[in-house]
Amino acid sequence: MTRYAYYIDLSICAGCESCTVACQNKNGLAPELAYTKVHRFETGTFPNLKSSFVAGQCFHCDEPACAAACPTGATYKTDEGPVLVNEAQCIGCKYCMVACPYDARVFDEEMGAARKCTECADRLASGRKPACVETCLTGARVIGDLDDPKSPIHALITQPDTVQMAGAGFYFRLPEGIAKEALPEARGTGVVYAWQSILQPLGQLLMGGAAAALLASAAAFAVKSVRGGGTEHGHD
């Protein structure tokens, strides 16, 4: 099997946004839409400010909130790791945009679909690298197969200053002096899973229960009228 892991070395990221542009070209995105963005951030207090970059994009979650919320099944998780969307099946309801904790879904008005980073699954299938990895000037972006013992990804993600994104095969190496709090954090998705796995089934159970009760009532009256030979009327 293949299980992809993605690694970004923020200590050498130059913030040049070549990845953003290469991705837009590869995916035919309008200039105002981007699957991967590079945010500059600062830590510390003046005059000891430290400036660095962090990439914001889809982390291909192990249990994606976007796929859990998707009512059509257009968004789905693949065994190899990438979370994909079948754009023809997407109805544009934007549930996934509400669900994703990282704001990684991109709504393409022209297409009427909530698109996303595919980890270039099509390229990976033919042995190529994602556009962002291929184009990265400093080599900060690396993709590898966790199930391949020879993959160089293992050495990278086991470095002491590397942080794994919780619940995702996605790793950042932090620049010196930058705490992991600088990385995006997944919050508030509990209600998405609770809605999908508790509230929706419970609500449907209530409707089913009501239907069963009234069928039982109708059956009771039918039996009564057959036994009694006459029809019921409203006098008790």
Task: List residues binding ligand SF4 (CB under 6 A).
Answer: 58-61, 64-66, 69-70, 72, 74-75, 83, 85, 90-96, 100, 102, 104-105, 113-114, 116
Distance from C-alpha of 167 to C-alpha of 144, rounded to nearest angstrom: 17
203-232 mask for another protein (x: CB under 8 A)?
Answer: xx-xx-xxx-xx-xxx-xx--xx-----xx
Q: Is 90 an interacting residue with respect to another protein (CB under 8 A)?
A: yes
User: How many Å apart are CA 143 and CA 53, to the nearest integer?
Assistant: 19
Question: Residues 156-162: contacts with CB within 8 Å, 24+ apart?
Answer: 156/7, 156/9, 157/5, 157/7, 161/11, 162/7
Question: Do 65 and 192 form a contact (C-beta atoms < 8 A)?
Answer: yes
Nearer to ligand SF4, 42 or 63 (CB): 63
Question: What minimum distance in Å lies between the beta carbon of 87 and another protein?
Answer: 10
Amino acid at 199: L
CB 96 within 8 A of CB 66: yes
Asked if 34 is part of the footprint of another protein (rule: CB under 8 A), the reply reads: no
Q: Which does 59 bind (CB under 5 to 8 A by kind): ligand HEM, ligand SF4, another protein, none?
A: ligand SF4
SS3 91: coil
Classify residue 168 by its DSSP letter: B
Which residues are at the interface with another protein (CB under 8 A)? 71-73, 88-95, 97-99, 101, 103, 107, 112, 187-189, 191-192, 194-195, 199-200, 202-204, 206-207, 209-211, 213-214, 216-218, 220-221, 224-225, 231-236
